[in-house]
Structure 1
Amino acid sequence: MTAIRLTIALILSVWVGIFAVVPVWAQDWTAIRAAAETGDAQAQYKLARAFESGKGQVQDDFEAVRWLRAAAENGHPAAALDLGWMLANGYGVAKDGEQAYFWFLKAEALGAEGAVAQRTAMAATLEPDIRQRIAQDAGIVPGSLSGVAATGAASETGIGDPVLLPEDTYEAVRDRLNAGAGLDQLAKLRLLAEDGDARARNLYGLALRRSIDAADRSLGRQWLLLAAEDGLPAAQYNLASALLEDGDPRLGGSVDVAAVFAWLDRARSGSVPADPNDYTAIAAEFAARAGIRDPYRAAVQGSRGAFPELRELIRLKRQELTARQDLTRRLVSPPAATDSGQIETTIIE
């Protein structure tokens, strides 16, 4: 039950939507519905969110699910993610964890923001063979990085002895992986990591950390540690994130606060402003594949041009850690109840 509550809490935490700049009251809903009925995915999604929120349409979760499904089947990333959320929580449709996982996989493949976290959370409630079957149903190509993350098989099973060719530089292998290459490129990345390339160690660690297999994730943290000790600021940030994640008290561990702060401080002191031309180039490079979060993806992968984003991520991670410390103190020593209208804690099943 605790795992389910954690899963649903994580899913609840990212249920957000972004409407168009035009105010809801000013939308031409007749035209939007007409476009939706002709198969326009964006119109279908906008109509679904209107029904879900009750802004622009009479609130109706059943209609929201209907239009979310239409948009998701038309390849709309956010619709696939939101449909998974509705299925996971039983809003407007019977609760169905397997179908939710299916749509979270689809959303991840389409590049939806937050899909990886949702898929990972839901995966914890399903058996490996069920996850494998659903991944196949979702059309996740075996050997792709998405497939690795979905099935928890990041150990390069079935790959022959990899060979590094002259053109297999870190940048080339990284670009292939970012473009969706499979386990053969992951194996080459491992060879680069074993040769001592700090950036390869960092990226290989990140790839392993995407797995839901505990052994893969533990090995990923070891690679991040090697890259962090090599002095790579991105790896130091990623290691701090891993320590914070693996030490979550809700998962039976305890956070080594001092270690997390220490690695964040080292990352911050080493992430100096980059050359503006370098920054522009790396942002444009990642924008072509990663959309709105391109500079942050570049940052965690160790690109110098994304150091400004890395410093922002460090600030947010320190803020998160401080909030967790405060929460822990409150749980250990809750304030005495008063007559001042103290709000009771509520657990949402």
Structure 2
Amino acid sequence: MKLFHYLATASLFLAVSIANSPAAAATAVDPASEATCRHLARDGVDIDNLAYWRNALTACEAYLQAEPSAIDARYFWLASRFNLQQFEPALAGFEELAAQGHAPSMDYLAKASAYGLGRERDFKAALAWLRKARESNDPRSADYLGEMYMLGWGVTQDFVMARSYFELADRLGYIPAKRSLAWMYLDGIGVPVEAERGFGLLSAAAQQGHERATTDITFLYTKGIGTEKNASRAVAMLDDLVRKGSADGMRTLARYYLRDGDKTQRKTALDLLEKAVALGDGNAMRTLADVYVAGRETKRDFAKAESLLDQAIAQDILAAYRSKALLLLKMPDPRYDQAMYWMKEAASRGNARAMADVGAMYEQGKGVPVDESEARIWYGKSAELGDSSGARHFGQSLYMGTGGPRDVENGVKWLEKSAAAGETDAMRVLAYGYENGDGLPKDVVKAFEWFQKAAEAGDTDAFLEVADRSYDGSGTTADAQKSFVWYLKAAENGSAKAQYCVGLLYERGEGTAQDSREAVHWFKAAAENGYIDAFAELGQMYANDANLPRDDGKSIDYLERGAAAGNVTAMVLLGIKYEDGDGVARDYAKAIEWYEAAANKKSADAMYRLGTLYRGADGNQKDFGKALEWLTKAGAHGNAKAQYALGDIYEYGQGVPIDRSKALSWFMMAALKQYPEAMNAVGYYYQNGIGTKEDQTIARNWFQKAADAGSAAGALNLAWYYENGKDQDQAVAFQYYKKSAELNSAGGMFALGRFYDDGLGTAVNRQEAIKWYLRAMDTGYNRAAYRLAYAYDATFSSDNAAENILLAMRQGDRQIADELKAFSPFTRTALKRSLLRRGLYDGPLDDEIDQPLKSALENYAITYGG
């Protein structure tokens, strides 16, 4: 809501073309003509259309012809001519009447001077006429003086004085003054916002027949401002005005349909505007011009728009000046200088939004050199007049300290005022301020609340902010479903990033049912809108998604399109495909080419992969010099895997002298980046005093960090520490051996089996021991058979015990052959049977440890090694 979007229009200073005076000869008085003239000329102060004033002029001419000496007849006739822009004869006549002390004529002379209608703008002259009219207790002059104080025209801007004059005019019965007061309370100009009071004043004016107040009320009903939202009632009221032939009603209903209507209603809006324009309604001309500029409801036509705006400006329609400026800015070849001229013209006539636009043009350097201090001045003027956009810009200027000293307190005050008026940009500025703690207490909850308010008010940028924070749980509970809803809203409004995120959520089945085809749809939409990360996702989906037919051609195509657009991930993925031969022939040269392209864009991952390839990964020819070069670059960019690899290189001397201190340094860098295996390596170095002084406590701490981060080796080493170190605790050791085993460490599995076998840190459980020994062997642990043989023997599984005795010998544990007395007679007999089947034993099948058995075992060792 902008007060002077409604107040300082042609409703006060209307104008249109010149006509001749009527004949001066007196005729008989026509009571109907007199009544019609009085009604139209008196009540038409807020009427903008030419047809209305032509009718008024006809009636008043008849009245004047009947009573040429009647002051009222002459005044109403002159008023009609003035509002038809016949300024020269109208002003000459008003001056004659003013010389006779006629106060209403003085009001017209004042408005002509204030707005430059038929003469130069002269605020001093305007004030002189208004003060002279006030001597006669003229009500309209009080209302006009209120506006002069409101705008600071010829006087110091003073909202208290403005309000007092509006109240005086209202007490004297001047109905439009109620409307002036209403918008002060609705916009909070010099007073706290009291929307209900503003609505009440407009209702009172409407009940007294003020048509513009009636259309204002319909606007409040559609927005729910000062009253309950009731769009159907607003439409009914406007329909009633339209049926009565009101151009104001036609225009207002058209605006509502254009803003909130369906396709049919938007078409109706165009018809309504055409009808209002045909009646000569200047504001309808301006609105229809805006439609031609936007090009949504009809084909864009700058020429038609400019013609309509020029006609509206000829009627001194305030909003048309600003629309003319916006038209010039939106043309294919923007005319910035002319746009600034017209924007300043609009601002000089009290258009608060135009003042904000002038500020923006100074801030952006459009039509003028960049001048942030001048921008702040204009934003302040706009804000003081109740413009919510001006308040947002002024608040942001104060808050950020652009164009003048930083003033967080007042900046936030204006931002909150703008936000309260529904400006979502202000809401987002406040949200970022609280989120970042920039001049405000850091408060992510309050930040989220502001983002959500903006989103609920329809701000498409805020849709994305709410979605991001709902997903991450920043300032609110993490909620993937809620996040999906907001991402989808933003995606449907054309946000490429949101389209990408919707694709991700469909792909993962987060916040919605998993749907690979929907994911592909949204990734394609994002890619077409220039979000190049989507190409990489499409490339991966066509190669790896289990719910889609594999299509290596499409996969490569999307990755190449992404890479061509500069997407580093796509470049790396292409490198991986050529390195692995995944969907293409293996080609190390092409892999290196793509990795280098990504590395040249500062991809640390690509640098790491180059280094790994040059170390001889996947069979590529080794080049330790290049490996060291690329891994060092990746490590310098913070890549933890590269830092760990460099530790390996210096530990084992790959292309460099062995240097355990350097190795530890690189391992430490990676460990500080939470790389689990590096944490374990640092622990191992401290445990064994490699490259540093031995420190078991530091070692244990690093093993703990590694285990907590999911390192199987870290858990294994931590378990060993608690089993054998200075802080021995078998129960804790058992827990970490178990964790290591569950993380697929063969050594951890064997140790866990041993703890179950021996009852260390837990109860003896031979079946669990056997299970973990077997899993250890399946995972590659080749010394488990020795203990497995004893475990099987203890559980009376003699055949398995016998086979594991032989396996233990193959694994290098030949001493088990000298320990046969420790096994049960059943196992010894089973051992002889096994050797017999192999043709290595020909003695009796008993449980004796005889020479044939010993010889057979010696032959077995010779035959199978061990």
Greater helix share, 1 or 2? 2
Same fold (TM over 0.5): no
The TM-score by the shorter chain falls in which range?
A: 0.3 to 0.5
TM-score, normalization by structure 2: 0.19
Structure (1 or 2) with the larger CA radius of gyration: 2
